Amino acid sequence: MGGPRLVPFRLMPIDIDIAKVARLARLALSDDELERYRLQCEVVLEHAALVQTLPTDGVAPTSHPLPRTNAFRDDVVAGCLDREEVLAQAPEREGDYFLVPRILDEP
Amino acid sequence: MGYEPVIGIETHVELTTNSKMFCGCPADFGAPPNTNVCPVCLGLPGALPVVNGTAVEYAMTIGLGLNCDIAEHSVFARKNYFYPDMPKNYQISQYDEPLCVNGFLDIETDSGTHRVGITRVHMEEDTGKSTHVGDGGRIHAANHSLIDFNRAGVPLMEIVSEPDIRSADEARAFVTELRGAVLRLGVSDAKLEEGSMRFDGNVSLRPAGTEAFGVKVEVKNMNSIRSLHRALVYEIERQSALLEAGESVLQETRHWDEEAGATSGMRSKEEAFDYRYFPEPDLVPVAVDAEWRSRVAAALPELPAQARARFAAMGLDAAAAAVISRDVDYGSVFEDAVEAGGDPQTVANWLTGEVTALLRRSGVALTASPIDGAALAELSAMVGDGLLSASAAKDVLAGVAAGEGTPGAVAESRDLIQVSDAAALEPVIDDVLAANPEAVEKLRAGDPKVVGFLIGQVMRATGGKADPGAVGDIIRSRGG
Amino acid sequence: MSDLADLTLTAAAAGLRSGAFTAVELLEGVHRRAAMTEAHLHAYLTLDREGAARAAVAADAGFRRSDDHGPLQGIPVALKDNMVTRGLETTCSSKILAGYLPPYDGTVVTRLRAGGAVILGKTNLDEFAMGSSTENSAYGPSRNPWDPDRVPGGSSGGSAAAVAAGSAMVAYGSDTGGSIRQPAALCGIVGMKPTYGLVSRFGLIAFASSLDQIGPLTRTVEDAVSALEVVGGHDPADSTSYPGPVPDYRTGLESGVSGLRVGVVTELNGAGIEPAVQAAVNQTIEQLEQAGATIVQISMPSVDYALSAYYLIAPAECSANLARFDGVRYGLRRRGENVEEMMSNTRADGFGPEVIRRILLGTYALSAGYYDAFYGQAQRVRTLIIRDFQAAYEQADVLVSPTSPTTAFSFGARTEDPLSMYMSDVCTIPSNMSGDPAISVPVGLDDAGLPIGFQVMAPALGEPVMFRVAAEVERRARFDARARFATSEVA
């Protein structure tokens, strides 16, 4: 008894709409790639779904391991970068602006 | 079939802090492009946000000013979506646990005071600005876009109202009142034309008297209060016409076009609304204790609604109270004048009428003008004592504004003091009566209208300097 | 001939101060070693010879002036290439950041420079720190100095290989699920992950924000103490940074383990661990008992779920952290008819398969309708894991286990099956979930001559007791790192 376990199990069939997820994540993948990733993700998720077998009623989620609150900075101006150093990294620029291909719509 | 509009307004307010929400870059407007930027607000790899403590206080100020409960424990969240002016492709905002909830704002409508609920006030960060280059600068015909990240990360407060608004007029009153409150609280310059205050509306219709909500349409791009009113009027009519025709309203986001005077549907993107909110792991929660809350509450300035109530109690009518309370300086001069003995309604009328016109023509602000509470009180006394007619008082105001001196001095030097002394008036009246025998006949017969004519004659004879009230009294007494 | 490149940090620091050699000579020794080993090890992506030379000269000048900035002055240090360095290419081993020159230094880098460290360059990693072997690097893997056909571990594989081979005296890496400790174990060196918040993350290119920590890879436990002292402590630029005073790691270092309670975690020892590894671990536990420690068996049931929870939390956070790589402001840009297409093409081309997999997983775990069952539930399970740790630390001062279930595996052995690769981290992930510190100490070799690592875990801010036990383990193990040159002849 003891030792780490890798127990594949199925709690609920996992059926990922991988095309939708790829769109949400802005990843242009071919159909073959999508299918391959879908299968791989489903295998991982089936294992990750193990978490659903642990009862957690009344248990609060942990988003920060460090129990801290009120980390503030003073409202003072400091730390701006030199524009040229910043724009030098731009894949495309026009004058003092970052240039991007046309934006289709407002968010 | 009568349809009732159900409207909610979502407002975004940029704060006038020195620095941005999560970094030390300047938060001001108008700097050369991409100069107010740093690793944090540019979303450079490895950068981390740190919360601006003053912005949190400003957010609390707005919340308390809107009568909200302040959460003891409040959390930042990531709102995930891709857009080129959003450096991290997520916006740090608040979701489940916002800073302020359950408030209200009272507005004045034709049917009296109406309370609009405030669902929440929360903190987030603004995005950069994109300029679309191509045909006419409009997004759909653009060839490419240029991005300036100066605005990215500027502290933004989101204020969400309950859907308690029932007409475009009410909506206008609501945003006007909200803007006045935000200005009075001193947290934003609320300039719609610069975008430091922005509104989106949610509009649905339901049969009058029913409770269930109809299909909600979001309306965006209303860039002024007037525009907001026009857009809502249009949208209500559009939805009304659809429902009357037996058709259904499509749930969508519509864009107001000021030139065309209409809203139009934007490309519908179902997935765009899956923001995948989760608690921001790079920021720790905000804990507000009773002591902090009291401190902010104690420092709150008086809001327009409270000032309005106070001025009304002084005897001002609702319209005048509304106008005077909107501006801190006007309100302050008004109070000084009334304290020094001025008549509230008279002073208010001068402030909202003649004084406003004078200052606009001269381009001078009230605080820089010689017109102050003492002057208005003095002027009010002179009118009350019959020394000045109403129109003479306006001339005196012009003189005071021009720096000619106190009301008394101006009235003297411009020879505006009216004559109400009977001894001075009687000879003139005698002459007028002598010159108008038929009028005198009518007067003796009890005709009330002829008094006005005779007063006019006396005013002409005295070059307008007679006190019409005193003249009238004497003439009437001559009527027997 | 004693080679300067093989000195420990502690010995080198003493030599610099006694005048036995200069920082420039030390650097030359390390550069010579790098020249000998890099062709086949590929520990580095960028070697900054000029920058390092300048820093060495400055360190020497400092010593002459009696300007002593601490234990890392004049010491050749390597940095994992997910830590931003101003003006020095920083790629995260990804194509999407090829050629990227950060305009700022991360806080750890700033502190190292202020401490007079000689920064050698940037080491190879699994792309965006996602992996356990460096096989996910877009620029080719690094090799294990003990056996060039085997992986050095990951994701800080380059850093581990460099320290083990002597082409760095000290390296820094990052640890999100074991990425410092596992490669340290596979390369026969010391590697530790501090308490979450003890070392600033400002300037660490984020993978999973609530799990990532920067930490040192060194030859000895004492070296690790020095390396941590220079970089730890509150940073106002990192809101998750621990605001209190840093613990004193050094004072009790040589006190031994008499009277301490050592907890053996049931779920991390035994079945599923390679027999040779468990044998070495068991022997080490016996040594601790002989040294005066009390050994306690402790079961932590929720630890069985740590891997599953990790593979929901880490991808979810990374899916948002990596959204900024979109071709707009920096990095790779691919063509597109419109900006959305540009972003999608850029990201699909610029990210490798493991990164894409985790972004897809994470996006799914957060998406509407699935959040509560996946990400939400994982965060609740995390609370249970933390509670199990807290309960365990009431019965024990430290907890122990193997660092990695196996010794170094061969290239290609686990690349076909992602889950098998993820299993490499099963012993290390729990302390990332709890935010507690943990260290790997080399304790022996298996029959193939490959190093075995022993893990010591301690409660939050328990670095002092962790180092103290680690020092005892190191003393008793008498692990000889030079054995590697017997098994792999360098050209």
Ranges of each domain in chain C: 4-255+440-448+467-487
Q: What confidence tens digit (pLDDT) does each residue in B315-328 have? A: 888 888 888 887 77
Q: What confidence tens digit (pLDDT) does each residue in C381-400 have? A: 999 999 999 999 999 999 99
DSSP-H helix ranges across B97-224:
168-185
pLDDT category, B347, cuts 50, 70, 90?
Answer: very high
CA distance B123 to chain A (A): 14
What pLDDT score does B267 carry?
61
Judge whether A27 is closer than 8 Å to chain C, CB to CB.
yes
* Residues in C touching A18 (Cβ below 8 Å): 360
Residue B75 has pLDDT above 50, yes or no: yes
Number of domains making up chain A: 1
What pLDDT score does C489 carry?
43
CA distance C193 to C188: 16
Q: Do C320 and B90 touch (CB under 8 A)?
A: yes
Q: Is residue A2 part of a domain?
A: no
What pLDDT score does A8 carry?
46
Helices (H) and strands (E) in chain B, counts: 16, 17
Q: Is residue A26 part of a domain?
A: yes
DSSP-H helix ranges across B66-202:
168-185
Nearest Cα neighbor of A45 from A80, A10, A4 is A10
Average pLDDT score over residue span A81-96: 95
Q: Do C266 and A52 touch (CB under 8 A)?
A: no
Bond preceding residue C155 cis, omega within 30 of 0: yes
| Mean pLDDT per 10-residue section of chain C, whose length is 491 residues | 86 96 98 96 98 98 96 98 98 98 98 98 98 97 96 98 97 98 98 98 98 98 98 98 95 95 96 94 98 98 96 97 98 96 98 98 93 94 97 98 97 90 94 98 96 98 98 95 52 36
Contacts of B392 (CB under 8 A, 6+ apart): B411, B416, B417, B418, B464
- Alpha carbon separation from B354 to A24, B128, B349, B410 (Å, rounded): 59, 43, 8, 16
Residue B139 has pLDDT above 80, yes or no: no
Residues B191, B197, B200, B205, CA torsion sign: negative
CA distance C228 to C25: 25
CATH value at residue A36: 1.10.20
What pLDDT score does C488 carry?
41
Judge whether C491 is closer than 8 Å to chain B, CB to CB.
no
CA distance B87 to B107: 38
Please report, rounded to a whole number, the percentage of residues in chain B having pLDDT higher than 70. 97
Active site residues of C: 80, 155, 179
Residue B419 has pLDDT above 70, yes or no: yes
Place of tokens 């009028």: B439
Average pLDDT score over residue span B96-103: 97
pLDDT category, A2, cuts 50, 70, 90?
Answer: very low
CA distance A90 to chain B (A): 11
- Beta strands B197-207 and B155-161 are unpaired
Q: What confidence tens digit (pLDDT) does each residue in B184-197 have? A: 999 999 999 889 99
Strands of B217-222's sheet, edge to edge?
B69-70, B100-109, B112-125, B155-161, B3-14, B197-207, B217-222, B253-257, B262-265
Residue C117, CA atoms < 13 Å, CB-side half-sphere: 28
CB-closest option in C311, C327, C405 to A48? C311
Write down the CATH number for the domain with range C4-255+440-448+467-487: 3.90.1300.10
> Which range is least confidently modeled, A71-80, B300-309, C136-145, C346-355?
B300-309
Apex CA B412: angle with CA B410 and CA B414, to 5°?
Answer: 65
The amino acid that residue C453 corresponds to is G
Q: Is residue A92 part of a domain?
A: no
Domain that holds residue A21: 7-55
Torsion of the alpha carbons at C370, C375, C381 and C386, rounded to the nearest 10: -170
Apex CA A66: angle with CA A62 and CA A70, to 5°?
Answer: 100
Answer CATH for B422-478 from 1.10.10.60, 1.10.40.30, 1.10.10.410, 2.40.128.50: 1.10.10.410
CB-closest option in B32, B75, B286 to A70? B286
CA distance B184 to C342: 45
pTM summary value:
0.89
Q: Do B276 and A24 touch (CB under 8 A)?
A: yes
CA nearest to A80 within chain B: B38
Q: What confidence tens digit (pLDDT) does each residue in B447-472 have? A: 888 888 888 888 888 887 788 888 88
Judge whether A78 is closer than 8 Å to chain C, CB to CB.
no
Average pLDDT score over residue span B358-369: 88
What pLDDT score does B268 carry?
58
List every span in chain B annotated with CATH 1.10.10.410. Answer: 422-478
